[in-house]
Amino acid sequence: MKTIKTALAASLIGLLGVNAAQAQVSNNEVRIGYLADMSGIYRDLAGPNGLEALRMAVEDFGGRVNGQPIRILSADDRNSPDVASSTVRQWIERDNVDMVQGLVASSVTIAATRVMNGTNTLGLVNGSAASSITNEHCTPNHIHWAYDTYPLAHGTAAAILAEGGQNWFILTADYAFGHALENDVRAVVESQGGRVVNTVRHPLATNDFSSYILQAQASGAQVVGLANAGSDTVNSIITAGEFGLTHSGQTVAALLLFLNDVHALGVETAQGTQLVTGWYWDMNPEARAWADRFYARTNARPSMVQAGIYSSTMHYLRGVEATGSDRAADVRAWMAANPINDMFAQGGYVREDGRMVHDMYLARVKTPAESTGPWDLYEIVRTIPGDEAYRPLAESVCSLVNR
């Protein structure tokens, strides 16, 4: 299988090399649009610091590709699919944007990628979690880079089930990402003989979780799974602590917990929590070196989303350089034909469904005694190989997958 893949990759590279002489960068400029929540509940996941990671990639590439300048545009999507689709359409039709980066809320991403697919523009998805983005919502015009709900659900739920947490209550953010995570968790729990006793859905950016946590407490479930993200997760955990869920014997399972969330909660509150992440700033010397440079610019350690923005942008720019073109189909083919070996991933690769496959990591939040500083938050417990972490292509309904 590996020989066939290598031969195919070589053929693609050869074809791209032949076409590169005739290709060119449109408008004599490579234009990248950065679309993310810049001021709302997902601001810390990507936000302004994700834009800084994008700028780092452009600067590290030299600010130009094949002699042509690289220009960045940015916008706040306000977590609105309508705002996202209209912004992307305007960027493409008026500003000739070649690639859209960032893309956080899954509902926003699905709306934006539909526009990109209709206009043959490339999207690099880093902030969104819904595994449906490369399943039922796959297109030939986007790549999902940093993570998705499939390994989050499987890794976290499997670890808790192994420790005896069989009965689950799931608190879900009521939009595409939450639904996807809930479904993935349910599949894992039920496949391993567990049971979901109840699910309750809450609106995005809920201020008061009291009624939801009281329902979770009354359910008697051993595990309260939080299928939400950002400040919703932080507020859920804080409320669960106020109502004494863990003291009454229930386990709170944060199914999507980011570094900035743990930093906001503090190790005193979050200690012992297990989670799955696609990257950690202190996981190896290469990650640490890049994270130190990022910290010098932002006074914060990067999330896996921000690291993914840097990594995917660099791979994209290498594709433009190699093909001599900013045409979406050419660059995406090059990106799929060439492995990712950088500060984010080793041996990563882009599948036909647009999923960038790379190792994921089961992490445990350190205790106050173990942590040496405000950002020394995780111990990496186990590496989950990429081919085991993500949804098998045999289970995919993506129209791009060869049957």
Task: Let me know how long the chain is.
Answer: 403
CATH class of 2-147+283-358: alpha beta
- Mean pLDDT in residue range 135-161: 93
- Mean pLDDT in residue range 242-270: 89
Percent of the chain past pLDDT 70, that is, above it, reads: 94
**pLDDT value at 300 more than 90:** yes
CATH topology match: 2-147+283-358 vs 150-277+360-389: yes
- Mean pLDDT in residue range 65-74: 97
H-helix segments, 61-148: 81-95, 106-119
Q: What is the pLDDT of residue 13?
A: 47
Gap between the Cα atoms of 20 and 24, Å rounded: 8
Gap between the Cα atoms of 390 and 181, Å rounded: 13
**pLDDT value at 315 more than 70:** yes
Q: Which CATH architecture has domain 150-277+360-389?
A: 3-Layer(aba) Sandwich (3.40)
**pLDDT value at 22 more than 50:** no
**pLDDT value at 307 more than 60:** yes
The residues spanned by each domain of the chain are: 2-147+283-358, 150-277+360-389
Q: What is the pLDDT of residue 18?
A: 40
Phi-psi region of 53 (alpha: psi -120 to 50; beta: other; left: phi over 0): alpha
Question: DSSP of 246-263, one letter per residue?
Answer: GGGTPEEEESS--HHHHH
- Tens of pLDDT, residue by residue over 223-248, are 999 999 888 999 999 999 899 887 88
Mean of the per-residue pLDDT values for the chain?
92
Q: What is the pLDDT of residue 21?
A: 39
Q: What is the pLDDT of residue 23?
A: 56
The burial of 339, by beta-carbon neighbours within 10 Å (0-12 exposed, 13-18 middle, 19 or more buried), is given as middle
**pLDDT value at 14 more than 90:** no
**pLDDT value at 41 more than 90:** no
- Mean pLDDT in residue range 357-372: 94
